[in-house]
Chains A and B, each alone.
Chain A
Amino acid sequence: MKRALTLCVAATFAAATAFPQPAAAQSKAGAAKPPPTAVERDAVTAEFEKFREVLEDANPAELFEAKGEELWKARRGPNNASLERCDLGLGPGVVKGAYVHLPRYFADVDKVMDAERRIVHCMTTLQGFKLEELAKRPFSTANATPDPVALVTYVAGQSRGMKIAVPQKHPKERATFEVGREIFFYRAGSYDFSCASCHGEDGKRIRTQQLPNFTKADQAIRAYQGWPGYRLTGGVMHTLQWRLWDCFRQQRFPEPGYVSDSLTALLTYLAVNANGQVYKGPGIKR
């Protein structure tokens, strides 16, 4: 929260002192046309917002919520069990409202888990699926939506309209938040990027895409609002696990492990920052 950075893939010709001003600059400056103003840029954003509402009004994510509910209740896997005994933090089988309290500490594993990680945990412990198998193809393609994706979408949809209230009582919950914050600001890789490079300052865009400042509640909620979300590009359903995975790709980092501690920590940082905001249900994204 204390830090403020900026960027995706190019530049800041920022430092005012760094540029040697040739004498010609001042004399020619008067002839130059000014670039489009902030107001004109905002018009594009406003247009997107207007039609995003139209898209949200009938979100294909609902198709995946329905699929996820079917999967939740079906007896599946080597153990031929349903997920109806899965404890998402509010007790075995309680789905309603569970999502807005995740990630949280689970005593049975002595760990903090985010929603997708917990669902995958239930699939392995209750139904007998193998994590290594689930981790082989964890993300949606044009041809297939992995089961955890539909399940997360269903679980998230069951907290529609509720306030984000991610707990920070257990020491491990607080420690996970701290680690998440450090990862968020950690600059490394070929392009010197951190998460904050794109998501640490207000009112910025990559190309036409607005970049929420995740250090603030009213903007951190937008990450939660977005994912799980139906992505217009490719027309597939994606979760926060996918979003972070692809962010790290574009951050020029190596590949993060599926449902790993690093991602839980980042999601905890994000979710705690969004605390108090109302969750509207699975999103729709470009």
Chain B
Amino acid sequence: MTDLSRRAALKGAGAGTLLAAAMAAGLLRPSDALADWNKGAFEAKTVSDALKSLKVVSPAETKDIAIKAPDIAENGAVVPIEIQSNIPGTKSIAVLIEKNPFPYAGSFDVSQGAMPFVALRVKIGESSNVRVVVATADGRFYTAVKEVKVTIGGCGG
């Protein structure tokens, strides 16, 4: 998932300030500065390519990830999702909307003092599986899915 050692190093060195200065000076584009924003994974058009960029290796299907999301979403523009991982040593939680043009929606690092939980709201273009991948501190991967149907809402006039 996100490269934690690199991120920690950047923060430790107070590099954020330096990077902001470099950006302001036009030396770096924001996307360069955000070295730990996984461009490859976010630009991947398939789930398997995204997982490859995230360095996810053979994730195991599990029932220990609880995904709370609507069976039928009232509006695909705002679909609330809550994820609770019950897997010991959960380090990060990644969310992929399988049918979206760019499936990888983001990853949440909970290893530094947060509970293995995240709530977010996402855009889902058409009925799709929401895939969650949990990475653990000891380098294992677990996954679960929840299907969300997207419907037409109002008069359409």
- State the A residues within 8 Å of B (CB): 8-9, 44, 47-48, 50-52, 54-55, 206-209, 232-235, 249-250, 286
Contact = CB atoms under 8 A, between A and B. Distances in A.
B157 to A, nearest CB: 5
B78 to A, nearest CB: 4
B127 to A, nearest CB: 14
Interface in B67-107: 70-75, 77-78, 80, 82
B80 A55 contact: yes
Residue from A47, A206, A232, A233 having most chain B Cβ neighbours under 10 A? A232
Interface stretch (B44-52, B135-143, B148-156): B148-156
A276 B74 CA distance: 29
Interface of B: 70-75, 77-78, 80, 82, 121, 151-157
Contacts of A47: 70-72
Given A44-B72, A50-B70, A208 B152 contact: yes
B74 A51 contact: yes
A223 to B, nearest CB: 15
B155 A286 contact: no
Contact of A55 (B71, B78, B152): B78
B83 to A, nearest CB: 13
Contacts, number: 53
A8 B74 contact: no
Contact of B74 (A48, A206, A234, A250): A48
A206 B78 contact: no
B70 A209 contact: no
Contacts of B78: 55, 232, 235
Contacts of A233: 75, 77, 153
Contacts of A250: 155, 157
A232 B75 contact: yes
Contact of A208 (B71, B74, B121): B74
A249 B6 CA distance: 55
B154 A206 contact: yes
10 contacts: A9-B155, A44-B72, A47-B70, A51-B73, A207-B152, A208-B72, A232-B74, A235-B77, A250-B155, A250-B157
A8 B77 contact: no
Nearest to A50: B70
Residue from A9, A51, A52, A54 having most chain B Cβ neighbours under 10 A? A51
B155 A8 contact: yes
Nearest to A191: B157
Nearest to B71: A47
Q: Which 3 A-B pairs have the closest CB atoms?
A: A232-B75, A232-B78, A51-B70
A208 to B, nearest CB: 5
Contacts of B80: 51, 54-55
Contacts of A9: 155, 157
Given A208-B74, A286-B74, 18 more contacts: A8-B155, A9-B155, A44-B72, A48-B72, A48-B74, A51-B70, A51-B73, A51-B74, A52-B74, A55-B78, A207-B155, A207-B156, A208-B153, A233-B75, A233-B77, A233-B153, A234-B77, A235-B78
Nearest to B152: A207
A207 B153 contact: yes
Nearest to B79: A51
A232 to B, nearest CB: 4
A250 to B, nearest CB: 5
A47 B75 CA distance: 12
Nearest to B77: A232
